[in-house]
């Protein structure tokens, strides 16, 4: 069991991330000590060791800050100062408060997250307002460190194999300094694995870093990117043009996240916006999009119980094999439940269970996937999308 702040690290994500960091950097340090042992006669060997160590320091520093700072959560039960503004905001049924502009509810953190970008399993929390800078620094230093490690380990492997093959008798350790480290077969195997992992991490994390920098330059989180795309589509049929309120220009966008103090600008609740927009420009757009989505929902009635299993054998092989490729929840449904469906797959549907006291804000929302064969459309509803989607899958 883990207590206090370390609870955040007790999850497979940080375990794997920290294992990779320590394994790759540990192997690189071993190779460095073996081949380029820092010693007073070679300034370069000392500089090299300092550079390698500083990557490790910066990787871990930013990693732990991203984990322990957290993204910043909207206070539970939060509401705007002016009650008039409540109609421009969405309500969170779990946090029992309004969602501040740019915040979204994360089902893993189970809280509304300030300027939520995404939930990152590797840090076991969200990337959001408070830890955005440290998270991005981490994404920068991790590939740099891994790239450096790749070179050190590759040169070591090459030298070892070359020496063992062509001059095994002449083989001497470079500096002849006793370190208690022998480069045998286990070390060679460990180095091969480390090099593979280091190349993989370099490429994958560099890709994430580019994605993050692009999002910071536009001041548009991953979620906002979706909202803006839908807003542009929605407004293309209207006379008014949608203006994204938070893009203040590249320089100001960067300065909003990266500051000398290491803390982002602002309180994570109110945001500077471009001229012609208000604090609620985006939230009003979101509400309009949600309304549109609601209008397209179709009512279904449950005809067969489903216990929420990910692979419900009793519902047929096709239902088990063609499951939705998402980690969104599967919901338990009982006969005669009413469900409003918003997404359709051939064998699965996504919807929200309706309660008698619906509309009461304290009622929790139950949304998720369930097998299509467990429900039937309520008479009177014709869904074009339903038909189209089924056709497409065939």
Site of interaction with Zn ion (CB under 5 A): 92, 94-95, 105-106, 108-109, 112, 119, 126
Other beta carbons within 10 Å of 348: 21
Nearer to Zn ion, 41 or 361 (CB): 361
d(CA 21, CA 135): 15
Nearer to Zn ion, 123 or 338 (CB): 123
What is the rounded radius of gyration, in angstroms, for the C-alpha atoms of the chain?
27
Shortest Cβ 201–Zn ion spacing (Å): 22
Give me the helices (H) in the chain, please: 12-35, 43-69, 132-166, 185-218, 222-235, 250-257, 281-296, 317-321, 384-393
d(CA 156, CA 187): 10
- Asked if residue 109 lies in contact with residue 53, where contact means CB atoms within 8 angstroms, the answer is no
- Bridge partners (DSSP) of residue 344 are 349
Shortest Cβ 361–Zn ion spacing (Å): 12
d(CA 69, CA 130): 7
- Asked if residue 340 lies in contact with residue 351, where contact means CB atoms within 8 angstroms, the answer is yes
Nearer to Zn ion, 75 or 272 (CB): 75
Q: Give the phi and the psi of residue 2 in degrees, each rounded to 5.
A: -115, 145
DSSP readout, 145-211? Answer: HHHHHHHHHHHHHHHHHHHHHH-TTT---TT----S----HHHHHHHHHHHHHHHHHHHHHHHHHHH
Q: Give the phi and the psi of residue 369 in degrees, each rounded to 5.
A: -95, 150
126 is catalytic: no
Shortest Cβ 125–Zn ion spacing (Å): 6
Q: Which of 92, 106, 112, 120 is catalytic?
A: 120
- Bridge partners (DSSP) of residue 111 are 106
Nearer to Zn ion, 96 or 233 (CB): 96
Q: What three-state secondary structure class fits 123?
A: coil
Other beta carbons within 10 Å of 11: 17
Nearer to Zn ion, 10 or 179 (CB): 10
Shortest Cβ 117–Zn ion spacing (Å): 10
- Asked if residue 81 lies in contact with residue 71, where contact means CB atoms within 8 angstroms, the answer is no
Nearer to Zn ion, 134 or 148 (CB): 134
> Catalytic site residues?
120
């Amino acid at each position: 069991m883990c207590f206090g702040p370390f609870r955040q690290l007790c999850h497979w994500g940080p375990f794997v991330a920290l294992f990779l960091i320590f394994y790759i950097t540990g192997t690189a340090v071993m190779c460095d000590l073996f081949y380029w042992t820092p010693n007073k006669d070679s300034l370069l060997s000392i500089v090299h060791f300092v550079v390698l160590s500083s990557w490790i320091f910066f990787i871990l520093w930013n990693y732990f800050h991203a984990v322990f700072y957290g993204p910043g959560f909207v206070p539970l039960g939060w509401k705007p100062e002016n009650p008039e503004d409540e109609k421009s905001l969405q309500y969170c049924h779990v946090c029992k408060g309004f969602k501040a502009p740019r915040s979204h509810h994360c089902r893993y953190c189970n809280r509304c997250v300030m300027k939520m970008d995404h939930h990152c399993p590797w840090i076991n929390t969200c990337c959001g307002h408070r830890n955005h800078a440290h998270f991005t620094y981490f994404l920068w230093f991790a590939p740099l460190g891994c790239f450096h490690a790749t070179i050190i380990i590759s040169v070591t492997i090459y030298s070892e194999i070359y020496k063992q093959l062509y001059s095994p008798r002449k083989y001497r350790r470079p500096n002849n300094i006793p370190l208690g480290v022998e480069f045998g077969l286990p070390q060679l195997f460990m180095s091969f694995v480390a090099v593979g992992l280091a190349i993989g991490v370099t490429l994958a994390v560099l890709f994430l870093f580019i994605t993050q920098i692009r999002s910071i330059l536009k001041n548009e989180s991953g979620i906002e990117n979706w909202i803006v795309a839908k807003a542009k589509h929605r407004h293309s049929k209207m006379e008014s043009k949608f203006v994204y309120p938070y893009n203040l220009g590249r320089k100001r966008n960067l300065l909003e996240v990266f500051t000398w103090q290491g803390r982002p600008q602002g309180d994570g609740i109110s945001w500077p916006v471009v001229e012609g927009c208000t604090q609620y420009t985006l939230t009003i757009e979101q509400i309009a999009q949600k309304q549109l989505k609601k209008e397209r929902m179709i009512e279904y009635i449950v005809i067969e119980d489903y216990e929420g299993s990910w692979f419900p054998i009793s519902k047929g092989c096709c239902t088990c094999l063609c499951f939705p490729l998402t980690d969104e929840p599967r919901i338990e449904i009982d006969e005669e439940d009413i469900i409003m469906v918003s997404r359709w797959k051939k064998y699965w549907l996504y919807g929200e269970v309706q309660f008698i006291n619906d509309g009461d804000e304290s009622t929790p929302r139950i949304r998720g996937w369930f097998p299509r064969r467990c429900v039937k459309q309520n008479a009177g509803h014709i869904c074009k999308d339903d038909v189209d989607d089924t056709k497409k899958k065939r």
